[in-house]
């Protein structure tokens, strides 16, 4: 009890000092009109580089598909491939014109080529067959067919043959005279130029050659 009574004057002095300090601190604030609370001031808007997007626009900006809508929008896209062309089918070309794709031609190989030969002096026409890669002599001409093709019956016929023709001169020498394609439908397209003999392709067949038979005169 004696210790507490001795401490009371010191405690009373400290409380009075605290009240006086609080009064001095509150006086300037009251003079400035402070009524308590926390003062706040609006912050300046942040400075952003580049265009400002509309918050209501979809992600990615106007005209750009959203990645959420199209997962492949941001990834590489494979180039578009043109549809495969089907033979016999009409398609529209880049210029807007209608193009018809023709089916590939089918050729039938034959074993024998049929020819007709003309002797211009006598006017006699002779028909004869020659096997492929064999040689037959007609007058002073040696005829060797290398190929003979026809088409299926369902297609338009176009008989063609690759023929080599040699001429036997008066001294017995053999020299080349013709080498190329002959067309049965157009005998004069690739004809043999000789003053006495004329030879042209007439047909192709699968059977073996037959013996030559003379024709009528003209």
- Integer-rounded Cα Rg, in Å, for the chain is 55
Structure tokens at 204: 């192709």
What phi, psi does 3 have (nearest 5°)?
Answer: -65, -40
Give yes or no for a contact between 91 and 85, defined as CB atoms under 8 angstroms apart. Answer: yes
Give yes or no for a contact between 175 and 100, defined as CB atoms under 8 angstroms apart. Answer: no
Mean pLDDT of 168-179: 92
In the block, residue with structure tokens 């073996």: 208
- Find the DSSP H helices in the chain: 2-31
- Pairing relationship of beta strands 124-131 and 213-217 according to DSSP bridges: antiparallel
The partner residues of 217 in beta bridges, in order of sequence, read 124
Q: Can you tell me whether residue 197 is helix, strand or coil?
A: strand
Q: What is the pTM of this model?
A: 0.50
Report whether pLDDT(33) > 60. no
pLDDT at res. 153: 84
Report whether pLDDT(29) > 50. no
Taking only the tens place, the pLDDT of each residue in 61-109 is: 555 445 445 555 555 565 555 555 555 555 666 666 766 665 566 889 9
Average per-residue pLDDT for the chain: 73
Structure tokens at 85: 């062309």
User: In the structure, what pLDDT confidence band is assigned to residue 135 with cuts at 50, 70 and 90?
Assistant: very high
Q: How many angstroms separate the CA atoms of 204 and 149, rounded?
A: 7
pLDDT at res. 13: 65
Q: Tell me what percent of the residues of the chain surpass a pLDDT of 90.
A: 37
Q: Tell which wins on pLDDT, 202 or 95.
A: 202
Report whether pLDDT(20) > 90. no
Q: How many angstroms separate the CA atoms of 141 and 163, rounded?
A: 12
pLDDT at res. 217: 46
Q: Tell me what percent of the residues of the chain surpass a pLDDT of 70.
A: 48
């Amino acid at each position: 009890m004696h210790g507490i009574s001795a401490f009371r004057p010191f405690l009373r002095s400290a409380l009075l000092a605290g009240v006086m300090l609080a009064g001095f601190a509150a006086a300037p604030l009251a003079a400035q009109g402070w009524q308590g609370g926390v003062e706040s001031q609006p912050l300046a808007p942040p400075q952003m580089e580049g265009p400002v997007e509309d918050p209501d626009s979809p992600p990615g900006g106007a005209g750009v598909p959203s990645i959420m809508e199209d997962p492949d929008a941001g990834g590489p896209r494979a180039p578009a491939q043109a549809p495969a062309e089907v033979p016999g089918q009409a398609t529209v070309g880049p210029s807007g014109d209608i193009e018809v794709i023709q089916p590939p031609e089918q050729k039938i190989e034959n074993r024998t080529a049929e020819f007709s030969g003309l002797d211009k002096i006598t006017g006699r026409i002779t028909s004869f067959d020659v096997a492929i890669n064999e040689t037959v002599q007609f007058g002073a001409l040696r005829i060797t067919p290398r190929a003979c093709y026809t088409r299926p019956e369902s297609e338009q016929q176009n008989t063609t043959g690759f023929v080599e023709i040699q001429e036997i001169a008066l001294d017995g020498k053999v020299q080349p005279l013709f080498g190329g394609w002959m067309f049965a439908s157009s005998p004069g397209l690739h004809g043999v130029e000789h003053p006495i003999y004329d030879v042209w392709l007439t047909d192709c067949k699968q059977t073996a050659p037959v013996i030559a038979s003379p024709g009528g005169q003209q």
